[in-house]
Amino acid sequence: MTASLSAPATASNADLAATLLRVTSGVWFVIHALIKIFVFTLPGTVGFFASLGLPGFLAYIVIIAELVGGIALIVGFQTRIMSLALSLILLGSIYTPHFSAGFLFSNANGGWEFPAFWALTLWALALLGDGAYAVTKR
């Protein structure tokens, strides 16, 4: 299988919208991974996960998924699968730690409003597909 950057001669508005959602979501995931690595640090992120009652090693899995999945979305590799897989991280973040903070993300400790919105955005992207300018096209 050879990957190639492809876009139709005239991309539709839906293709361009999918590309916008795909690339921005990918950038946000990469940013979140880098914040966990460079701002909170790996030991800090592991400690935070442990403080929530989650296994510490899960922090590494989340960071890798956010980084690899984010890059995959940016370049348009397996967008439908990556979107659904990354939405699991967001659903997990709703369950722990955001759900107990209530709905509004402006609440103390951040509510579940933003992760829910982002998960729904990824589900819409999974339905739309790669869009224009993606290395895989389905």
Residues 88-120 pLDDT 10s: 999 999 999 888 888 888 888 888 899 999 999
List Cα–Cα distances, 124 to 90, 132, 136, in angstroms. Answer: 14, 16, 18
Q: How far apart are CA 34 and CA 41, in angstroms?
A: 9
Please state, as a whole number, how many other Cβ atoms lie within 10 Å of the Cβ of residue 130.
24
For the chain, the domains span: 14-128
CA contacts within 13 A on the Cβ side of 2: 2
Residue 6 binned pLDDT confidence (cut-offs 50, 70, 90):
low
Instruction: Give pLDDT, residue 129.
Output: 95
Instruction: Give pLDDT, residue 106.
Output: 85
Q: How far apart are CA 9 and CA 83, in angstroms?
A: 26
Instruction: Give pLDDT, residue 1.
Output: 47
- The secondary structure element, H or E, covering residue 71 is helix 57-75
pLDDT at 78 exceeding the cut of 80:
yes
The conformation of residue 41, written as its DSSP 8-state character, comes to: T
Q: How far apart are CA 47 and CA 22, in angstroms?
A: 31
Nearest to 75 by CA among 11, 13, 12, 3: 3
pLDDT-above-90 percentage for the chain:
77
**Global model pTM greater than 0.75:** yes
Instruction: Give pLDDT, residue 73.
Output: 98
